[in-house]
């Protein structure tokens, strides 16, 4: 394997957000996924690789919710697929109860799958249109005949429908007869059927209407508390993630750039990207319009096929200096905060990490760089435009 740029060394104590968090249920170490770029049809030549996920590490305890936020293309969906073994990682391990599941196959893999399930983003494509709701939710029992005796399956499907707040009478309906929010409930019921311990939810509410989103979030919270589920909740909506998560990881171009409890990330962000992201979120409060200072990032996210050297955020960062192009910042508690108390002292992958409370005016940074970003490190360029 490659050199581990380990995020959270396991012994480092984290305040248990929930009572009773023994060993992590899921332990991810140095997860990496490269998609090779090839050219030519007959003689394929590898011309490079898209670094979708690059050395991601985290742990997930029982009943805990880890939120992963990032913009489109940052690799958060790939993380979801790796966790539920829909893709095999290029490097790294995913340990479930101590066992590395990335190398499993066949029967052993099937057994692990019972415990790690997934909820998909699009409620319109994640249900087979040719199957009834009963068949969709009952399919887990057919695949794992040990999970429920044959005669009992129908009853359990009805109970699952009831658990997710749908009328059990709808068991013979087809997915296209339901609205988006109802379909997402069906998807959740399917994920719940085998009593998993971990549910990986990839943008589960982003396709839903505002008033229905809250219903589904509430449902997921209720199920977590009732069945002791652990979630990996992946979303681009920072408000939703804050609402449901115990811990949050901010992802940028395939890497976690900052991790911590929701308070640490949202009240005391130390990574510039997190700060910019938070400041950009519109708050539904017109009164905040004047108070708020926004950090406007210049340009766009670079291509993951050709990420910048050193710190990947440096092309859009107002603090970038020469060292950022040369040295990859490790995801660890920044030197400046070592020994300090928790809210600020949390892992952040920045050479110049500092707190920037949101109520304090931030440097307004509108540097108009070309979309690809400057090639050199560029000086600390505040207040470009």
Partner 1 sequence: MPDGPGPQQPESPPPEPRDPASQRPEPQRPGPQRPGSQPPGAQPPDPRRPVAPTAGGAAADLAMDEGAALELPYGGTPGGPVGRPRSLWSDAWRELRRNPVFLVSALLILFLVVISLWPQLIVSTDPLACDLGKSQQGSEPGHPFGYDTQGCDVYARTVYGARASVTVGICATLGVALLGGIAGGLAGFFGGWADAVLSRTADVFFGIPVVLGGLVFLSVVTGTTVWPVVGFIVLLGWPQIARIARGAVLTAKEADYVQAARALGAGNTRLLLRHVAPNAVAPVIVVATIALGTYIALEATLSFLGVGLRPPTVSWGIDISNAAPQIRNAPHMLLWPAGALSLTVLAFIMLGDAVRDALDPRLR
Partner 2 sequence: MPATGTRDGERPAPERDGPSGARLLDVRDLHVEFRTRDGTVSAVNGVSYHVDAGETLAVLGESGSGKSVTAQAVMGILDSPPGRITGGEIRFRGRDLLRASREERRRIRGARMAMIFQDALSSLNPVLTVGDQLGEMFQVHRGASRRAAKAKAVELMDRVRIPAAKQRVNDYPHQFSGGMRQRIMIAMALALEPDLIIADEPTTALDVTVQAQVMDLLADLRQEYAMGLVLITHDLGVVADVADRIAVMYAGRIMETAPVDQLYRRPAHPYTRGLLDSVPRLDRKGRGLRAVRGLPPDLRRVPPGCEFHPRCPRAREVCVRRRPPLYEVTGEDGTPLPGRASACHFWKDELADAPAR
Question: From partner 2, partner 1, none, which one binds at residue 129 (CB under 5 to 8 Å depending on kind)?
Answer: partner 1
Output the CA–CA distances (angstroms, integers) from residue 240 to 1, 225, 233, in the order listed.
35, 18, 10
Residue 53, beta-bridge partner list: 33
Question: From partner 2, partner 1, none, which one binds at residue 6 (CB under 5 to 8 Å depending on kind)?
Answer: none
The least distance separating partner 1 from the CB of residue 159, rounded to whole angstroms, comes to: 5
244 and 65 Cβ atoms separated by less than 8 Å? yes
Instruction: Report if residue 177 touches partner 2, rule: CB under 8 A.
Output: no
Distance CA 166, CA 357 (A): 43
Judged by CB under 8 A, the residue of 30, 67, 140, 181 near partner 2 is 181
Distance CA 123, CA 237 (A): 18
268 and 355 Cβ atoms separated by less than 8 Å? yes
Question: From partner 1, partner 2, none, which one binds at residue 177 (CB under 5 to 8 Å depending on kind)?
Answer: partner 1
What tokens were used for 293? 């200072």
Show Cβ contacts of residue 356 under 8 Å, excluding neighbours closer than 6 positions: 269, 270, 272, 275, 362
The least distance separating partner 1 from the CB of residue 228, rounded to whole angstroms, comes to: 4
Question: From partner 1, partner 2, none, which one binds at residue 209 (CB under 5 to 8 Å depending on kind)?
Answer: partner 2
Q: Taking each helix axis from N to C terminus, what angle separates 210-227 and 180-192, rounded to the nearest 10 degrees?
A: 20
How many residues bind partner 1, per CB under 8 A? 78
Distance CA 241, CA 248 (A): 8
Which helix (DSSP H) or strand (DSSP E) does residue 191 occupy? helix 180-192
Distance CA 91, CA 247 (A): 25
Question: From partner 2, partner 1, none, which one binds at residue 110 (CB under 5 to 8 Å depending on kind)?
Answer: partner 1
**Mask: binding to partner 1, 190-229, rule CB under 8 A, as x and -?**
x-xxxx-x----------------xx--xx-xxx--xxxx
**Cβ distance to partner 2 smaller for residue 181 or 196:** 181
Interacting span for partner 2 (CB under 8 A) from 34-42, 105-113, 154-162, 174-182: 174-182
**Mask: binding to partner 1, 158-187, rule CB under 8 A, as x and -?**
-xx-xxxxxx--x-xxx-xxxx--x--x-x
- Which residues 136-155 are close enough to bind partner 1 by CB under 8 A? 139-140, 142-144, 146, 148, 155
Show Cβ contacts of residue 285 under 8 Å, excluding neighbours closer than 6 positions: none
- Which residues 49-68 are close enough to bind partner 1 by CB under 8 A? 62
Binding site for partner 2 (CB under 8 A): 71-72, 179, 181-182, 209-215, 217-218, 221, 236-240, 242-244, 262-263, 266, 276-289, 294, 296-297, 299-301, 358, 368-371
């Amino acid at each position: 394997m490659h050199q581990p740029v380990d995020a959270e060394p396991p012994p480092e104590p984290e305040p248990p957000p929930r009572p009773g968090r023994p060993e992590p249920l899921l332990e991810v170490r140095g997860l990496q996924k490269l998609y090779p770029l090839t050219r030519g049809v007959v003689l394929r030549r590898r011309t490079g690789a898209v670094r979708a996920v690059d050395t991601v590490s985290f742990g997930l305890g029982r009943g805990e919710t880890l939120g992963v936020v990032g913009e489109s293309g940052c690799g958060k969906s790939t993380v979801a697929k790796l966790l539920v073994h829909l893709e095999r990682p290029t490097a790294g391990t995913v340990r479930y109860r101590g066992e590395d599941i990335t190398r499993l196959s066949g029967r052993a893999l099937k057994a692990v799958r019972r415990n790690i399930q997934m909820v998909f983003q699009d409620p319109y494509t994640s249900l087979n249109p040719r199957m009834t709701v009963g068949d969709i939710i009952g399919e887990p029992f057919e695949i794992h005949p040990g999970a429920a005796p044959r005669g009992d399956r129908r009853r359990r499907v009805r109970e699952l429908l009831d658990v997710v707040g749908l009328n059990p009478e709808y068991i013979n309906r087809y997915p296209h007869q339901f609205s988006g929010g109802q379909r997402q409930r069906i998807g959740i019921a399917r994920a719940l059927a085998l009593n998993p311990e971990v549910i990986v939810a990839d943008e589960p509410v982003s396709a839903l209407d505002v008033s229905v989103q809250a219903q589904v979030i509430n449902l997921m919270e209720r199920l977590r508390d009732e069945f002791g589920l652990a979630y990996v909740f992946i979303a681009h909506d920072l408000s939703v993630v804050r609402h449901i998560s115990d811990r949050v990881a901010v992802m940028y171009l395939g890497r976690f750039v900052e991790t911590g409890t929701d308070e640490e990330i949202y009240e005391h962000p130390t990574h510039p990207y997190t700060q910019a992201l938070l400041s950009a979120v519109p708050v539904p409060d017109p009164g905040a319009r004047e108070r708020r200072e926004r950090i406007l990032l210049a340009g766009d996210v670079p291509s993951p096929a050709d990420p910048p050297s050193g710190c990947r955020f440096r092309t859009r960062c107002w603090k970038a200096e020469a060292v950022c192009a040369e040295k990859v910042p490790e995801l660890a508690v920044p030197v400046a905060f070592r020994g300090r108390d928790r809210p600020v002292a949390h892992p952040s992958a920045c050479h110049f990490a500092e707190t920037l409370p949101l109520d304090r005016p931030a440097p307004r940074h509108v540097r108009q760089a070309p979309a690809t970003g400057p090639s050199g490190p560029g000086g600390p360029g505040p207040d470009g435009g």
